[in-house]
């Protein structure tokens, strides 16, 4: 079997897999939302839900608008989570984060909205979101929010990591 045939077979298998998972964004032409769009987020089945492991995303080009002045705010958004049954699909996460580009919210609100949307989407065991916003007016803001499933060791992890971040 030649390279072209192998590649075509792989592409067909991957497309079938995406369809089975219900993924819409992956493998299609990118369409960018003009405002906050949590509906673009997609998940897929975690193949190792019995394991505790970290999944980390870094978005160094996050932008949003100041809700008062309309001026752009720039940040690096860091997301780290321990998945449960579902995981966020990375292209949909990128499109979601880009949807803040023309959306007006304070730095702290952006970090909390992102975290809550991801909790609602995939019910992770643990998640934390940090926003490293660049200075405006001579001051930078670095909001941090986290969550651990209540009544589990992940709630204790959330408390410990939260206390450490406060230092």
- List active site positions: 66, 73
**Taking the CB of residue 116, how many other CB atoms lie within 10 A of it?**
15
Q: How far apart are CA 7 and CA 31, in angstroms?
A: 26
In the chain the first and final C-alpha atoms are separated, in Å, by 59
In the 8-state DSSP scheme, what is residue 34? S
**Taking the CB of residue 62, how many other CB atoms lie within 10 A of it?**
21
Q: Note whether 41 and 91 are within 8 A (CB).
A: no
Q: How far apart are CA 28 and CA 47, in angstroms?
A: 24
Q: Note whether 65 and 104 are within 8 A (CB).
A: yes
Q: How far apart are CA 112 and CA 90, in angstroms?
A: 19
């Amino acid at each position: 079997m030649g390279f072209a045939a192998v590649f075509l077979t792989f592409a067909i298998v991957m497309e079938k897999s995406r369809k089975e998972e219900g993924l819409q964004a992956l493998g299609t032409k990118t369409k960018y939302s003009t405002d906050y769009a949590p509906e673009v987020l997609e998940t897929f089945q975690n193949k190792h839900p019995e394991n505790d492991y970290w999944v980390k995303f870094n978005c160094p080009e996050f932008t949003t608008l100041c809700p008062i002045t309309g001026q752009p705010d720039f940040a690096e958004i860091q997301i780290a989570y321990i998945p449960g049954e579902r995981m966020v699909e990375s292209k949909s996460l990128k499109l979601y984060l880009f949807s803040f580009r023309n959306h007006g919210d304070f730095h702290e609100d952006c970090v909390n909205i992102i975290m809550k949307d991801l909790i609602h989407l995939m019910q992770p065991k643990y998640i934390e979101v940090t926003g490293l916003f660049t200075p405006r007016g001579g001051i930078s803001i670095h909001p941090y929010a986290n969550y651990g499933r209540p009544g589990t060791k992940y709630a204790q992890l959330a408390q410990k990591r939260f206390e450490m971040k406060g230092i």
